[in-house]
Amino acid sequence: MPKKEWIAMLLAGGQGSRLGVLTRHIAKPALAFGGKYRIIDFSLSNCSHSHIDTVGILTQYKPFLLNSYIGIGSAWDLDTSDGGVHILPPFVGEQGGRWYKGTANAIYENIDFINSYEPEFVLILSGDHIYNMNYEKMLDEHKAKGADVTVSAIQVPWEEASRFGIITTDPEGRIIKFSEKPVKPDSNLASMGIYIFKWKLLKEALQKDEARPGSENDFGKNILPMLLEEGKRLFSYDFQGYWKDVGTLESYYEANMELLHEEPGLNLYDREHPVYSTIPILPPQYIGPNAKVSNCLVANGCTILGEISNSVISTGVTIAEGAKVEHSILLPYTTVLEDARVYRAITGEKAVIKPHCILGTESRSDQRKSSIAVLADRAVCGGSRHA
Amino acid sequence: MPKKEWIAMLLAGGQGSRLGVLTRHIAKPALAFGGKYRIIDFSLSNCSHSHIDTVGILTQYKPFLLNSYIGIGSAWDLDTSDGGVHILPPFVGEQGGRWYKGTANAIYENIDFINSYEPEFVLILSGDHIYNMNYEKMLDEHKAKGADVTVSAIQVPWEEASRFGIITTDPEGRIIKFSEKPVKPDSNLASMGIYIFKWKLLKEALQKDEARPGSENDFGKNILPMLLEEGKRLFSYDFQGYWKDVGTLESYYEANMELLHEEPGLNLYDREHPVYSTIPILPPQYIGPNAKVSNCLVANGCTILGEISNSVISTGVTIAEGAKVEHSILLPYTTVLEDARVYRAITGEKAVIKPHCILGTESRSDQRKSSIAVLADRAVCGGSRHA
Amino acid sequence: MEKMIGIISCNYGLEYPEGIGERRPLAAIPFAGRYQMLDFALSNMVNAGIRTVGIILPSNIRPVLDHLGAGKEWKLGRKEGGLVILQGSDSGIFPRSNGFLLRDLQKNTDYLENNAAEYVVLSNCSNVVNMDCRQAFLQHKKDGADITLIVKELIAEQEDEFGLIAVTDRSGWVLNFEQAKAKSGQSVQRFANMIIIKRRLLLDIIHGHKNIEYEDFMEILRIHASKLKIKTFSIPGYFGRIDSKQTYFQRSMEMLRPEIQKELFWGSRQILTRVRDRPPTKYGPISSVHDSLVSSGCLIHGTVSQSILFRGAVIEAGAQVINCIIMKNCRISRGAILENVIVTKNAMVHPDTVIKGRPDHVMVLNRDDGF
Amino acid sequence: MEKMIGIISCNYGLEYPEGIGERRPLAAIPFAGRYQMLDFALSNMVNAGIRTVGIILPSNIRPVLDHLGAGKEWKLGRKEGGLVILQGSDSGIFPRSNGFLLRDLQKNTDYLENNAAEYVVLSNCSNVVNMDCRQAFLQHKKDGADITLIVKELIAEQEDEFGLIAVTDRSGWVLNFEQAKAKSGQSVQRFANMIIIKRRLLLDIIHGHKNIEYEDFMEILRIHASKLKIKTFSIPGYFGRIDSKQTYFQRSMEMLRPEIQKELFWGSRQILTRVRDRPPTKYGPISSVHDSLVSSGCLIHGTVSQSILFRGAVIEAGAQVINCIIMKNCRISRGAILENVIVTKNAMVHPDTVIKGRPDHVMVLNRDDGF
């Protein structure tokens, strides 16, 4: 196995329970997003564009669904014979197995995996963020500053700061304080959950933390504060650009809808940084003779015979004649049958809206107030006129 | 995910404890064999030549060593985006995890994985056999006979029959009796542990067996007898050719030494059926000016300056000037230093025999009687004159 | 399936679709929004379980090689076999022959010699078809034919030249070949430029005709028609042949019919093509799109009807695109009106430009045309 | 590393190694038991982190394309970039020019235009070398050179023609170029046919010289020597140039020296090549092999000394092979004696044949020679 300068470890373990029925069958990173992507595509594409060829994906879940999505990583140019994408579920020893205790424990349990590549640096990523980023620039800064740890950070609105890990730096960018979800934040610089560590240092820190009774084995709560206390050189890397945590139903809906803006924060059209995805090879979308399409994102393989507006329509969706879809996100292979209505809703993969059915609330004044209607994967909305 | 006609499930879980120190760090299927191969290469190459593009590998062990050897399967042409090789260790649920209970339980636990390919047939393989076989011919016969299950079988010497699962057939090849390691075998037709099942039938059988208290969840002991009892159509497929279980140190040594015969049973030179392997790209072997090489198999990347005879010399081995190796198997990157001696021994990967050391027994009359000397991976034989 | 290898000739193109391709070989002509003509022949072979396909290159090799890449999309990025790139014979920029040049095969006899496959499928890239080659192969074996010619039974819509066609008996055995000039309403078995043949027989033919290298392979079959057992296999479904700009346009517009889309693209046999990672297509608030096939990565603010848009096309507000084919990365600026026009890739149509062709005589705009 | 792409010309070969290659381009000549000449240039680029390499094909494309396959071994089987196959210009079967034909680059300007890389490395395939291109690149950037010429400082062993060489000042800046005829013992900076240049500058040169397309790229540099900041980078280690049958044989025999093996093949930068799955080599009970490099899949029952055996060579009992190069799949039958001979691939030497060349004039046997 050749020695690597760096490898990435992607924490994809989040149960995604705040995303409700959408993540009942699918791990959060594999949830569809933006018409043709899945959430994990963004991190993996970033790795690919940053010339990282080895990625370990840490997941608590039965890995085969993620396995079958990621395959051999060829969608992201990560199918190299001496690197590649490896899914790392918790391991069962002779004494049985247990779930990862925390983000740091997940890395700790896979020290052997990382050691086998003898990397100089390890990049730690989260699997449920939407953003385009070149990690190479962060590594360059990490090296230039002679940092032990570099934490990628972004300015957030002050009123939201207490939801994040908040970083306070000196004028050189060196981190002097790190507070996980502080009640009274003294900075609005939030950690994005993206870290570069010297591997040697991280390994020692993980071993020390693992031995500490009472530790939650978490990067933000335990590892970073411990290293700060020890006087290690932690630096902040200021990220400029679009970044969104899509961990809740509202933020997921919002992030999708933002793509419909005339100038979306997230640029999917950047030729230098395409977002890769594993998608079946489907024919172009067909827009029928009586269709109306207004302010929508529509993916390949769709057949649109009805009316759609202000919506994100994913791969392989069918909208029958007379059907109407507004302010909604239709996940792959949703079928909306004749004269059905979908308002401010998210439909799971392969969901079916039967003829004349209504999903969501029709009245325009109600829509803003109402919560988002969600239909699970393969669910059928039908029979009665209201879902 | 496209529907597949068949997929293979390879049982690679064997602890290999009968192979002693050789499998201390490496799962048995990843043990080196025949100079440049690993045991699992034979099954995976067979899959590739049989046009199977999806293989699940069931392992109890921390999978990353096997992972890093198998990589994305490109060595075996198994790196297809909609199939490929998947390593399937036991799964940890919210309630914890446990090892597979038996061969059938291992498949049972991965029903979801198999279902995702919707195969018509499933081929069950063992990971510790050395043989070249085209499974397509077996499938053809399975289909031609309208079998529910086909069991590949080979004639073994009568005196060894009680070590195997023994099959008794009617004149049409239909199995009428299956006895696991019978004391008094009434046939010398032994099961090779290779089965083709109709997936629908196997799934039902696994579910039934799993519910049975006291079952060992084993194919030979439980599943096959149960199906026979139910009157299902089980057929034997008569395999002609070389086949060897290398589960013990003696059989492993023997199988290697058989490759030195003038006409070895196992043909490695068949252009229509090359055995694929993941090997580093190394220069050709260099045979020094004073070297003597007699009746040996030598792999790429070796430097032979001393004398070797009747031995299998694996990838990257170095034999210094004045050293002598006889009747031995040197696993990859073994170094035999100046004037050392290796007799009837197996040296683990990256083992070192220090100058003037002797591994094994020099006296020719003792050699036949003596057991095989084994040096573990990375072990150093040195200091004293005897190991 | 028995061992079978494929050969696809891209060194081919009678009545070259003038203007559409800027010297692209027919194999590399874009079709139906995201495909290239080569995809049909290649997918049909791969879907029949063929794992080794030789591609005979045209004189301009880049468009074909760029499209194929490492062959991953067709599952041909293999260690053994997979895509085998073969050199085509030099035959000028616009090869005139309508078929397989014998010389193209002669040049690549080592590919045929060094393979243990029993059968070879030969095809060119002029047809839009999704067919089950296994059926043709099973018939070939069952009937013990020397050669199976893949044909399509068509009713001539008008008096037409069909070139060399096979005259068969009732069960489909070929009696002889003749130059056909069919009358309207007459049924004709049109050759689909696809053949199944034993590898050894193909080699015998190649070696036996060393001196007439510029001959078409069909001509050779005509010579031997009486001695060889040649049978036809008729393609059951949709079959669209492209041999001119006008037939290219007709076949393209047929793709707007849902029943043809369904048959070609939504059955169990997928047409595989190169994946380019483009985002979904964005329809602006005032866009108006009807009866059109639209590929990914487009940006539509104007009006589009009865048209085909390839990847990355931009239709600005106020632009009108009617009965057109707009290829990759074109921009149709505000106020421009296009009707019955093919715009080839990377072209930019300036604001308020009006270009109208006739349905039976479409216009072709190229990037360098300066409109 | 900054974005850099590579271009390797295989359309090249002065003083073609007569007989060795049966019309194989120099790029595809087998070397050191398992490599092809192309592997050195390609591995040097890949090892420097270059992920997009254009390969300019020779007129006989098969040997190069067969060797490269899908590019997996060089980690170039990529979606973006990876191996990009470029068409070479037609220049007869034996191109005469010793360098980069400007025309080869002109034909592929779109490859250079459609890429955002800042730098380009150009190389041909005539050298056996394992070098750290990053060092040359770092020097290029540090010194702010327009062009870095990779050279090897050699002491002429005899009076020799060196072609166009660079005359530099003490710090390596090129003052001018001249035709060199070195005397024995004289130090000469031999051009390694490898250049680092900004992509935009390379395009400027290509566009600025549209009318002298058959010119060598080095000639262009000579014209502009006074205006461009050209610096040399000297390769520190082993450098073996092949430009004739005799130099091919000399370089091959140098591979028997353990210190050269170590430097070329056992350092941190691997020379990558196509993997063919052959079993280990089998030495029979009475074989006698000394001071030889032996590839996998051979079967040796005879005597071999000071020789290089490629994959699958068979040396029968009683055969003697001394100071020879035996290429892929050759069979040297019982009792045959070969000395100072190169046997090209797939050849069979009949029993008891005796062929002896001279060390300074080796014989070449081809399959069709009928010995």
Query: How many C-beta atoms surround the C-beta of residue C13 within 10 A?
Result: 26
D70: nearest CB among C62, C65, C70 = C70
**Residue B354 or residue D107, greater confidence:** B354
| pLDDT band, residue D15 (cuts 50/70/90) | very low
**Interface test mutation site (partner A, options D52, D73, D75, D269, max chain A beta carbons within 10 A):** D75
Does residue C266 sit at the B interface (CB-CB below 8 Å)? no
The pair of structure tokens assigned to C56 is 């005979």
Three-state SS letters, chain C: CCCEEEEEECCCCCCCCCCCCCCCCHHHCEECCCEECHHHHHHHHHHCCCCEEEEECCCCCHHHHHHHCCCHHHCCCCCCCEEEEECCCCCCCCCCCCCCEHHHHHCCHHHHHCCCCCEEEEECCCEECCCCHHHHHHHHHHHCCCEEEEEEEEECCCCEEEEEEEEECCCCEEEEEEEEEECCCCEEEEEEEEEEEEHHHHHHHHHHCCCCCCCEHHHHHHHHCCCCCEEEEECCCCCEECCCHHHHHHHHHHCCCHHHHHHHHCCCCCCCCCCCCCCCEEECCCCEEECEEECCCCEECCEEECCEECCCCEECCCCEEECCEECCCCEECCCCEEECEEECCCCEECCCCEEECECCECEEECHHHCC
Using N-to-C axis directions, what is the helix angle for D38-47 and D133-143, rounded to 10°? Answer: 60
Say which DSSP state A236 is in: E
Asked whether the beta carbons of D147 and D231 are under 8 A apart, the reply is yes
Indicate the pLDDT class of residue D97, thresholds 50, 70 and 90.
very low
Kindly tell me the burial class for residue C155, based on how many C-beta atoms sit within 10 Å of its own C-beta (0-12, 13-18, 19 or more).
Answer: exposed
Question: Is residue D14 very low, low, confident or very high in pLDDT (cuts 50, 70, 90)?
Answer: very low
Instruction: Using an 8 Å CB-CB cutoff, list chain D residues near B314.
Output: 280
**What residue type is D80 in one-letter code?**
E
CA distance D78 to chain A (A): 6
Q: Are D126 and D26 in contact (CB under 8 A)?
A: yes
Residues of C within 8 A of D75 (CB-CB) are: none
Residue C41: per-residue pLDDT: 96
Task: Identify the band that residue C95 occupies on the pLDDT scale cut at 50, 70 and 90.
Answer: very low
The pTM score is 0.89
B276 touching chain C per CB within 8 A: yes
CA distance D82 to D52: 4
Give the DSSP letter string of B49-111. HTT--EEEEE-SS-THHHHHHHTTSGGGT---TTSEEEEEPPP-BTTBB----SHHHHHHTTH
Sequence-distant (≥ 6) Cβ neighbours of residue C166 within 8 angstroms: C149, C151, C174, C176, C177, C189, C191, C230, C232
Using alpha carbons, list the distances in angstroms from residue A288 to A314, C170, C255. 17, 43, 12
Measured from the Cβ of residue D360, the count of other Cβ atoms closer than 10 Å reads: 9
> Which stretch of DSSP H or E encloses residue A324?
strand A324-326
Q: Tokens for D80?
A: 């973006």
| Residues 4-43 (D) with a CB less than 8 A from some CB of B | 32-34
Q: How far is A72 from chain B (nearest CA, A)?
A: 6
Confidence of residue C292 (pLDDT cuts 50, 70, 90): very high
Can you tell me the distance from the alpha carbon of D286 to that of D275, in angstroms, rounded to the nearest whole number?
A: 30
CA atoms of D324 and D315, how far apart (whole Å): 12
Mean pLDDT of D78-87: 86
pLDDT digits (tens, 9 = 90+) for B67-99: 778 877 888 888 877 778 888 888 776 666 777
Q: How many CA atoms lie within 13 A of A286 on its CB side?
A: 24
| Band (B139; pLDDT cuts 50, 70, 90) | very high
Chain D hits for B279, CB-CB cut-off 8 Å, are 275
**Residue predicted with more confidence, D103 or B238:** B238
pLDDT of res. C94? 44
How large is the average pLDDT for residues D195-203? 95
**Phi, psi at residue C122, to the nearest 5°?**
-105, 140
Contact D85 C65 (CB under 8 A): yes
Q: How far apart are CA A160 and CA A36, in angstroms?
A: 30
Structure-model confidence comparison of residues B283 and A75, the more confident one? B283
Pull the structure tokens for residue C71: 């062959």
Tallying the residues shown for chain D, one arrives at 371
Query: With the C-alpha atoms ordered C37, C39, C42, C45, is the resulting torsion angle positive or negative?
Result: negative
Percentage of chain C exceeding pLDDT 70: 89
Q: C77 CB near a chain D CB, below 8 Å?
A: yes
Q: Is C51 on the interface with B (CB under 8 A)?
A: yes
The answer to whether residue C159 neighbours chain A at the CB level (below 8 Å) is no
Helix C38-47 vs helix C133-143: crossing angle, to nearest 10? 60
| Alpha helix ranges (H) inside D255-318 | 258-265
Contact flag B272-C72 (C-beta cutoff 8 Å): no
| Residues A292 and A325 sit within 8 Å (Cβ to Cβ) | no
CB contact under 8 A, C70 and D65: no
Residue C233 has pLDDT above 90, yes or no: yes
Cα nearest neighbour of D35 on chain B: B283
Assess whether pLDDT exceeds 50 at residue D16. Answer: no
SS3 track for D5-25? EEEEECCCCCCCCCCCCCCCC
Cβ distance of D75 and A82 shorter than 8 Å: yes
Give A387's pLDDT tier (boundaries 50, 70, 90).
very low
- For chain D, give the mean pLDDT: 88
- For A153-204, write each residue's pLDDT tens digit: 999 999 989 989 999 999 999 999 999 889 999 999 999 999 999 999 999 9
D212 to D101, D179, D206, D209, D336: CA distances (angstroms) = 10, 21, 10, 6, 53
| The predicted structure's pLDDT at residue B385 | 42
Please give the pLDDT value at position B61.
Answer: 67
Distance CA D7, CA A109 (A): 44
- Tell me if B84 and A71 make a contact (CB, 8 A cut-off): yes
D78 close contact with A: CB closer than 8 A: yes
Q: Could D116 and A272 be called an inter-chain contact, meaning their C-beta atoms sit closer than 8 Å? A: yes
For the residues A220-232, what does the mean pLDDT come to?
A: 95
Q: Give pLDDT, residue A382.
A: 84
**Chain B residues with CB within 8 Å of chain A CB:** 1, 60, 62-65, 67-68, 71-75, 79-82, 84, 86, 88-94, 96-99, 110, 112-113, 116, 278
Q: Which residue has the higher pLDDT, B366 or C26?
A: C26
The answer to ipTM > 0.85 is yes
* Stretch 70-89 of chain A: residues touching chain D, C-beta under 8 Å: 74-75, 77, 79-82
| φ, ψ at D326 (rounded to 5°) | -110, 115
Interface probe with D: pick from B260, B286, B310, B311, most Cβ of D within 10 Å? B286
Average pLDDT, chain B: 89
Where is average pLDDT lowest: B60-64, C289-293, D67-71, D243-247?
B60-64
How far apart are alpha carbons D217 and D104 in whole angstroms? 10
Q: Is the pLDDT of residue B20 over 80?
A: no
Give the best residue of C65, C83, C106 to mutate against chain D (max D CB count within 10 A).
C65
Find the mean pLDDT for residues B136-148: 96
- Cβ-Cβ contacts under 8 Å for A218 (sequence gap 6 or more): A102, A103, A104
- Shortest distance between the Cα of C307 and any Cα of chain D, in A, equals 29
- Choose among D32, D72, D282: nearest Cβ to B283: D32
**pLDDT of the residue at B188:** 94
Least CA distance to D297: which residue of chain B?
B269
- CA angle, C207 as apex, C206 and C210 as ends, to 5°? 85
Whole-number pLDDT of residue A366: 56
pLDDT at B367 over 60: no
Contacting chains of B (3 CB pairs or more, <8 Å) are A, C, D
D358 backbone φψ class: left, alpha, beta (φ>0; ψ -120 to 50): beta
Confidence at residue B387, expressed as pLDDT on a 0 to 100 scale: 41
How much of chain B exceeds pLDDT 90, in percent?
A: 68
**For B308-318, what is each residue's pLDDT tens digit?**
999 999 999 99
What's the rounded Cα separation, in Å, for the pair A193 and B138? Answer: 53
Gyration radius (Cα) of chain B, Å? 22
